[in-house]
Amino acid sequence: MSHPPNPASDLPQEFNAAAYFVDRHVPEGRSTKIAIECGEECVTYAQLQERVNRLGNALLGLDVRPEERVLLLLLDTPEFAYSFFGTIKIGAVAVPVNTLLKPDDYTFLLNDCRARVAIVHEQLLPQIHRIPADRLRYLQHIIVVGSAPGGMHSFATLLANNSPHLDPAHTCKDDPAFWLYSSGSTGFPKGCIHLQHDMVVTSELYAKGVLGMIADDRCFSVAKLFFAYGLGNGLYFSLAVGGTSILLPDRPRPADVFAVIERHRPTLFYSVPTNFAALLTHYRESGPEFDLSSVRYAVSAGEALPASIFQRFQQRFGVEILDAIGSTEALHMFIANRPRAVRLGSSGQIIPGCEARLVNEHGCPVATGEIGDLLIKSDAVCAGYWNQHEKSKDTFQGHWLYTGDKYYQDEDGYFWYAGRSDDMLKVNGLWVSPIEIENALIENPIVREAAVIGRQDPDQLLKPAAYIVLSNGSLGSPELARQLQDHVSSTLAPHKRPHWVEFVPELPKTATGKVQRFKLRHVQAASPERAV
């Protein structure tokens, strides 16, 4: 009987992720190869190692000790890589955090992870300045990428003044290496404790096993480095194979994304459904179509990719989008579509090396075609949540991760997303997946995005309510609302027809692009376009 691959079991007990992803490339002959491109800046593997070492020595000079957390509030620039791996190399724990938060959020994160040192980009420093000093119980040092005010450390000066030589700390493969805070769709951040071996596992199983990544690959990720999906796509996947990471520190506006692709010629392009939809609405004012011919595959995650977006993107650019699902807890993908084996609307099949179960509310397996709660087994799953004992017990069930996602599996082993467990609707006594209704709505080209939640009618019965973002500034109307409702009625069962349609300028989302339906549930619709 063959056993699924387990990359972690092949690693030595003493193992440091920075040595694997950074140091080994120099003796393997990649000193002069470009590891990172960011605008005009190019960083070779030798320069990456040297700057990681200098940053690690700077942290040691600030008395950062093994397992202590270092918070990273950074844009997607090479300094992120130096800070992330420099922290890991000395045996401390890197904690990248969302760059889109507010002072109260950063107060919580700094106190929760107990970081004495934070590395902050100058553009984001005002958010930290707005926090009263007496609210930060542990923070002692701030290192600023850019201009450092008095009393703070200059990142550039620390690099210049510290040694380029540093041996990796004597960590083991099961030591903590970094935390990632799960934004999720519930709004409550949870610190996921990831271990030294976790990035190796996802690199082997997904980057190499599914995408077939090699040293010639060039990776560009719209998803940012501060969360799990972007961290793999935009940084450590390419370092795992000796490839090149292409970084964009700015917001991923369609014009900028196309400009990066045409200039830097990535072979792998990672994004989220929202961004793919935005790219499809963007055209040159004049001249030829955008050139995506360098892209071997595009990858999508964050939310289920509607089939219509896949088809429109492939027809326009000739690029296949490989939809997949992962999570912050699992670090990266565990179910994915394979190249040339995409099943439209599906998240794909289980990745070899991972295992999946679909169970009902009693924990019993469901039949093929029946919706169940998805549980995942992978050696990249985090060790638990920091300081969330009860939540950890609910989520990490022995070897299995309770994902909170509802799925069903077809006879060919493909998994089909049915929504978050707390997003499912029971209408007329029948379970309804909001994803199914949303996919029907987005088949209309005028619909850019759709989100469906449950709302009570005057009889206090739950019915579907649709929130619609239209394309190209189109205006909603009662007539359009009825057209969309009629379309759903013509393709789905009658009880799945949206009882209300409301046109909105945007949908609330997490940093990963997931729609926060819980926020929609808490919003009282001011004047929905209604057709009952």
- The whole-chain average pLDDT of the chain stands at 92
Token pair for 30? 């990649």
- Write the CATH number of the domain with boundaries 17-169: 3.40.50.12780
This prediction's pTM: 0.84
Token look-up 């940053």 returns: 55
Class of domain 425-530: alpha beta
Query: Which among 166, 138, 163, 133 is positioned nearest to 68, based on CA atoms?
Result: 138
| Position 525 pLDDT exceeds 50 | no
pLDDT band at 9 (very low <50, low <70, confident <90, very high): confident
pLDDT at 492: 84
Percent of the chain with pLDDT over 70: 94
- CATH number for the 203-422 domain, one of 3.40.50.12780, 3.30.750.210, 3.30.930.10, 1.20.58.390? 3.40.50.12780
Q: Which of helix, strand or coil describes residue 522?
A: coil
pLDDT band at 526 (very low <50, low <70, confident <90, very high): very low
Tens of pLDDT, residue by residue over 93-108, are 999 999 988 898 899 9
DSSP codes, 31-66: TTSEEEEETTEEEEHHHHHHHHHHHHHHHHHTT--T
Q: Stretch 304-324: mean pLDDT, rounded?
A: 93
CATH 3.40.50.12780 domain residues, the chain: 17-169, 203-422
Percent of the chain with pLDDT over 90: 77
Rounded CA gap, 466 and 351, in Å?
Answer: 33
Tens of pLDDT, residue by residue over 138-169, are 999 999 999 999 999 999 999 999 999 999 99
CATH 3.30.300.30 domain residues, the chain: 425-530
pLDDT at 302: 82
Q: Which of helix, strand or coil describes residue 103?
A: helix
pLDDT, greater one: 475 or 282: 282
pLDDT, greater one: 268 or 424: 268
pLDDT at 531: 41
